[in-house]
Amino acid sequence: MAGHDIVVIGASVGGVDVLTRLVRGLPPGLPASLFVVCHFPPGGRSILPDILSRSGPLLAVHARDGESFHPGHIYVAPPNQHLLLQPGGRMQLTHGPRENYHRPAVDPLFRTAARAYGQRVIGIVLTGALHDGTAGLIAVRSAGGIGVVQDPSDAVMAAMPRSATQIAGADYVVPTDRLAPLLVELIQQPLVPEGGSAVSDPIDKLPLTVNHDMEEQIRNERRGRVTVFTCPECGGSLWQVNEAPLVRFRCHVGHAFHAETLLAQQSHALEAALWTSVRTFKERNLLARQLAARERQRGDGEAAVRFEEQAEQAARYGDLIQHYILNGSPLPAKVEELPGTTEKSGTA
């Protein structure tokens, strides 16, 4: 029977130093897999796996979508991708919406680990700002897993561990130098048969609620109630007027629309948003090219190539919107058909 062999770790500001000290104290051949989310800027290049591999006896790598995971390895979430755990010993990477302002975020890793592996999970929340990891630790502990939190007084940023301790609770609150010995001890402990069962985070149920409300809206069954629409004038929620002959809406500050007027306003807003996207992609292309030129002047060809790739991607996406959507032209069967593009498979 498997023991506590799934270790999920979340960190933010100051986390690299704590993670380095943690892995330094772990033995080779640890009979558990470690998964790490450390908040990182989306456009940066993470060398955290290299740092962790050099700091201790375990091999650390960036997680890869669809791959199996193995004991004695550390899997780090790549920049700008959520790391999720699936049943059957596999990892999943997604470019889903940011959570708690972050992608990767701690909560998605923790709650998918809790759902898939229940009692086997040890969740560890380290230094960081705000509240990421709190809801995830609730899921871990509700599923019968173990919650470990870095002592807030020992953290560079105390908000994340303090929030986790106060709201989710913790089985152990320890300083940095106690993390590795405690983790080794917990991994060696057998599972308690009467522990909790795998549960889902309540946030996982919200898509069903959203879909239900949208279907009600389509069937015109939300008269007299708040709708799924927002006011094009102020961005506030819209309520549907409770009358059968007409479909009308009003926001809480008083902007009112017939359905046909609202539809037209949405068209105007959509066109404005698309032109904003075109402008943003063009500016991103120019800025990335400027940074690439700077790096080439410094002699850092590798960094220059990364910026040039970002510039090419921004140019492709801007052209796609401008030439094939805003101009009303049909979309090509393949992105490669765009003028001057060389889209690579797998580009996010």
- State the Cα–Cα distance between residues 207 and 14, nearest whole angstrom: 34
What span, in angstroms and rounded, lies between the C-alpha atoms of 285 and 283? 5
First to last CA, the chain: 39
CB 38 within 8 A of CB 196: no
User: Which of the following is catalytic: 4, 12, 154, 319?
Assistant: 12
* Angstrom distance (rounded) from CA 42 to CA 46: 10
The yes-or-no answer on residue 267 being catalytic is no
Q: Which of 8, 18, 141 is nearest to 84 (CA)?
A: 8
In sequence order, what DSSP letters do the residues of 205-274 get, joined into one string?
A: GHHHHHHHHHHHHHTT--BTSEEEEE-TTT--EEEEPS-SS--EEEETTS-EEEHHHHHHHHHHHHHHHH
Alpha carbons 148 and 9: distance in angstroms, whole number: 9
Residues 39, 82, 151, 163: which is the catalytic one? 39
132 is catalytic: yes
Helix ranges (H only) for 143-205 are 159-163, 176-188
Of the residues 132, 151, 201, 319, only one is catalytic, namely 132
Looking up tokens 């975020």, which residue turns up? 105
Which is it for strands 82-86 and 73-76: parallel, antiparallel or unpaired?
Answer: unpaired
Element (H, E) at 122: strand 121-125
For the record, the structure tokens of 210 come out as: 């959203």
Active site residue 197: no
Q: CA distances (Å), 58 to each of 170, 295, 325, in order?
A: 26, 33, 49
Q: How far is CA 173 from CA 153, 180, 202, 212, in A?
A: 10, 13, 25, 41
- Which positions are annotated as active-site residues? 12, 39, 132
